[in-house]
Amino acid sequence: MATTRNFANWFYVSSREFHDAYNALAQDRSGRNDFIAVKHYLLCHALETSLKGLLAETGNYSYNQLRRNFSHNLLRLLDEVEHVRGASTEIDECRAYVRPINEDYMQGGYGYPNNNVSFTGIQLEHFTTVVQFFVDTLMTDISSYNFADVPMQ
């Protein structure tokens, strides 16, 4: 049976892989494409999985709660992480990046041209730093053993 720490670790691995994929793509200097929608998706998904991991690690959320209550809503996830773990400048900064793109991310606008223009206004080089903070925070959290490792509901 999966435990909260196993589940949080899975979220960490996923968030790390998506963030690393963003970094690899961001370093592509071939000029073939700017990959703007793909870069946003990679960062948003890295953020989503790191935030869900921070919640899963507490032992207070089931898999279904994380899926149903939050889905791909980054603003709702940020609000919940703030509620559970307290306010921080990183959460506030992240909200500023997420607000204009959250609706597109939730509705798959990175793959379907709903409103992809919302992606163009985000400074990815700054957004990636904030996302990196949450990915790193999740690993620190898992490694600290601050929460009991209980069976995942």
Confidence label for 120 from pLDDT (cuts 50, 70 and 90)? low
Q: Delineate the domains of the chain, giving CATH numbers in brackets.
A: 4-137 (1.20.120)
- Summarize pLDDT for 44-86 with one digit per residue, the tens: 999 999 999 999 999 999 989 999 999 999 999 999 999 999 9
Can you list the alpha helix ranges (DSSP code H) found in the chain? 4-26, 36-56, 63-65, 74-85, 89-98, 102-106, 124-144
> Which pair of structure tokens corresponds to residue 114?
């709903």
Q: Which residues pair with 3 in a beta bridge?
A: 151
Confidence label for 38 from pLDDT (cuts 50, 70 and 90)? confident
> What value does the mean pLDDT of the chain take?
90
